[in-house]
Structure 1
């Protein structure tokens, strides 16, 4: 791919601050959220803004993004914990929940803090959220009950939830913590099913394989760890493989649909992308 080809696809209306979340949808568009507070949608083939309207930028940055499997809706979350469900066809905000709002007892939905990371269930009926409460909270994603708490999964520790994600089959939710632990919850049993201690520092990103059997993590310890969620008794707390190659924090990770390759991105010295086999 030539540099000229890349620059030919430069966007005419890019974000003005760091991009915190990005997703390639089933409709061949790209959705992204940014520290500038905006949610944007682009045509994948041209790199130019989609003609679909998007909601006006939030006053604070957007830090988490999750898109439905059919590419029709996007869930985004701001730095202070405002979660919004956006119709990607019309730009209409279908639901909004302020997770930082405290009740009369003085506690928020997560017993101590707003949502930071959010993840839609594959069928779009619920979403999972994590944050400073060290829990995974499940909320309704239905327009008429958006933000209503459905369930709460606890790790038993009050560590910050850095990242959470539903498995593709919707049967599990994985939670990454600031201290390096990864927790996997069984949704149907509403119980903790596995704890992985594969990292020495905060886990910044998680991704499931398409068959929901493997879980790959990226950490500030500069490593990736691959876990088989069907076998929690293996070495390193369930990690059966680790990958190195980063010179700084590994911040993002993804797996190819055939589960043969993985991509990871790092911060600093210099920012880069690494392919893992």
Structure 2
């Protein structure tokens, strides 16, 4: 069980805060920033990935949401005003772009959070309506609105996230509620009311059975979503210890450990079974994004993760 986290000897700065970071299946790391840039890094040495030489110019506004395909070949990202783009990570080329803020029909709204369906054909977005919109992720009609999943509430949709098998999508709200939709039927499968304030981050377990959420109420809550019901409102486990908002989270591939990053300028590593923090790492600023390495180390060493935050630096760490 980890007792500490050791930072690997390289860092990679943006000029402003890093608002999203993902460690991909191809052993690169992708980050998006308030400076409007998206960058790709080689995980073995922290240098820009070869494909990063063709990266698009910085967006005029900050990039706030990031989602990567399971094979590590594509990345979906979104800007503050709602420009959604898909990039081919192998060559840095933009293969799809959609300006969601252009009012083209009933129910259209600017996207805030975006999530690529692991099955690859669609992506989800959330925004001010409190609903989830399903869009095409295909190059010939990228961004086309295909359907709307209605939560029945009008609170701002803070975060949307697909389950790893692509069968469900979760939506969190500024009022603390979490909604889980079945994508095959388009129906609302569960509503969780276990948070008291805005839920800024959600992470699925890799076996699709659990959903970890982090909130402005300073708590992380683990929900058992294997048999959701509309009446469900409680928690399988609650993790407390942060002194300010929880901004980011992730669950390790083996399901044993969880990560959380907070406005209190710390990262916590949690033993899920023990319901306890086994490590607390101090940072120089708010921790806006975290991502576990998606596969074990080739040399059998401890698990690794990457973080990004207020200081604009992407950091790789290994857990001992």
- Normalized against structure 1, the TM-score is what? 0.92
Once the 2 structures are TM-superposed, how far is the Cα of residue 229 of structure 1 from its aligned partner? 1.1
> In the aligned structure 1, how far is the partner of 2:5 from the partner of 2:156?
42
CA contact (8 A) 1:231 1:238 kept: no
1:216 maps to 2:217: no
Deviations along 1:196-233, whole A, 9 cap, x unmatched? 00100000000101111100000000000111113446
Deviations along 1:137-159, whole A, 9 cap, x unmatched? 00000111100111110111111
Deviations along 1:222-246, whole A, 9 cap, x unmatched? 0001111134469971311101010
Residue 266 of structure 2 aligns with which residue? 272
Residue 47 of structure 2 aligns with which residue? 48
Residue 202 of structure 1 aligns with which residue? 198
CA contact (8 A) 1:100 1:108 kept: no
Supply the RMSD in Å over aligned alpha carbons: 1.8
Residue 313 of structure 2 aligns with which residue? none
> In the aligned structure 2, how far is the partner of 1:10 from the partner of 1:241?
34
> In the aligned structure 1, how far is the partner of 2:101 from the partner of 2:231?
39
Q: 3-state SS of the aligned residue for 2:191?
A: strand
> In the aligned structure 2, how far is the partner of 1:38 from the partner of 1:193?
36
Q: 3-state SS of the aligned residue for 2:233?
A: helix
CA contact (8 A) 2:191 2:229 kept: no
> In the aligned structure 1, how far is the partner of 2:114 from the partner of 2:101?
14
CA contact (8 A) 2:190 2:229 kept: no
1:258 maps to 2:250: no
Distance 1:262 1:235, change over 3 A: farther
Once the 2 structures are TM-superposed, how far is the Cα of residue 123 of structure 1 from its aligned partner? 2.1
1:69 maps to 2:91: no
Once the 2 structures are TM-superposed, how far is the Cα of residue 57 of structure 1 from its aligned partner? 0.7
Q: For structure 1, which runs of at least 5 residues remain unmatched after alignment?
A: none
Aligned length: 266
> In the aligned structure 1, how far is the partner of 2:187 from the partner of 2:139?
27
Residue 96 of structure 2 aligns with which residue? 95
Deviations along 1:142-181, whole A, 9 cap, x unmatched? 1111001111101111110000000001110000100000
Residue 29 of structure 1 aligns with which residue? 28
Relative contact order: is structure 1 or structure 2 higher (C-alpha 8 Å, sep ≥ 6)?
Answer: 2
